[in-house]
Amino acid sequence: MSNRPIYLDCHATTPLDERVLAAMLPYFTEKFGNPASISHVYGWEAEAAVKQTREILAAAINATPEEIVFTSGATESNNLAIKGIAEAYFQKGQHIITVATEHKAVLDPCEYLKTLGFEITILPVKQDGIINLTQLETACRPDTILVSVMAANNEIGVLQPIAEIGKICRDRNIIFHTDAAQAIGKIPLDVQTMNIDLMSLTAHKVYGPKGIGALYVRRRNPRVQLAPQQHGGGHERGMRSGTLYAPQIVGFGKAVEIALAEQATETPRLNQLRQNLWTQLSQLEGIHLNGHPTQRLPGNLNISVEGVDGAALTLGLQPVMAVSSGSACSSAVTAPSYVLTALGHPEQLAYASVRFGIGRFNTSQEIDIVAKSAIATIQSLRKQKILVEK
């Protein structure tokens, strides 16, 4: 039996599925060609593999293969979407709308655009983490060129009403971008029925390799124009130059293919594991569920704990479980989660939070171990605090 902590941080990253690794391996060795080398068999093999993944990703979101642009991950996809729209449409308007609980890969590009003269409206969220659609409608203006709202939150797992947001944007001829890094392969996504114009994706949140992502860019009704942020070679229809990393792309396709094939059984299993964990933890007083109770990713449970120090809580849990107190991309910052403060949490609760990211390889036995350990840790920390205060 492994002495390593039980891994419950699947919103930060997921382990590579062995089936994905098996699909990738030939493209590191025997099928190592450059997909852009179309004059020999090595290039043809790589090109065919890339084409297949475009088809898999397109089918997963009801797009066409030509609308899939490969990137290095969701952060690059978000930057390409937001900056690319700003540069391509600045003559039409310089107003962008986003949400306070977005990933930093959306908020930071928006902050950068402010330095160039763009106006950014950051919408608040309700206590359950979901935006108010009326506020979104009110915020839309004739010079609004982009609305960016993530499909599933990386910290609290909340699912935004993407189809409703898409309709609001379509009715007003505003381009709609969604960061779906946490959503692909876990919840149904359809760029047509949801009126999505740009969608950021990544592989490593769905048991694929790190370092590969994609951006869906709508080609018709309406045709979305993007100013490239990386030049040189004209790859990906000129939107993102650079040699395509065929092994990573193959892994991306295989990961999404597996996730879609297993979604019908995996979703209820993860929901049950999450519910089991919450049922046990909520027996303690002063445990708060962060985010909407049901409108959330199946494997996400985010809690705040009264009466404990946040740093001590994280440290106390470490021997048994690998969990996070917030976004992995911001984990080095010693500040309360901005997502939780956006929900209206006081500083103590925002600090003393735990994000459980339950995944494909977790078992019910592991969940029971984690629950018992977390309860014991919280009770111990509360007793220590009482003794210190006395």
The tokens describing 182, both together, are 């946490």
What is d(CA 59, CA 78) in angstroms, rounded to the nearest whole number? 21
Tally: H helices and E strands in the chain: 11, 12
Catalytic residue among 10, 110, 169, 329: 329
Pairing between strand 68-71 and 213-217?
antiparallel
d(CA 152, CA 165): 14
How is residue 265 written in tokens? 């059984």
- Quote the CA–CA distance of 94 and 146 in Å, as a whole number: 9
Residues 6+ apart with CB under 8 A from 234: 241
Annotated catalytic, 329? yes
From start to end of the chain, where are the E strands?
A: 6-7, 68-71, 95-99, 119-123, 144-148, 175-179, 198-202, 213-217, 287-289, 300-305, 321-322, 353-357
Residue 53, classified by CB atoms within 10 Å of its CB into exposed (0-12), middle (13-18) or buried (19+), is buried
Q: How far apart are CA 82 and CA 109, in angstroms?
A: 7
Provide the token pair at 204: 């490593």
The residues near 286 (Cβ < 8 Å, ≥ 6 apart) are 305, 306, 307
> Residue 347 carries which side chain, given as an amino acid letter?
E
* Cα–Cα distance, 102 to 132 (Å, whole number): 15
Q: How many CB atoms lie within 10 A of CB 331?
A: 13
User: 41 by DSSP, 3-state: which?
Assistant: helix
Residues forming the active site: 329
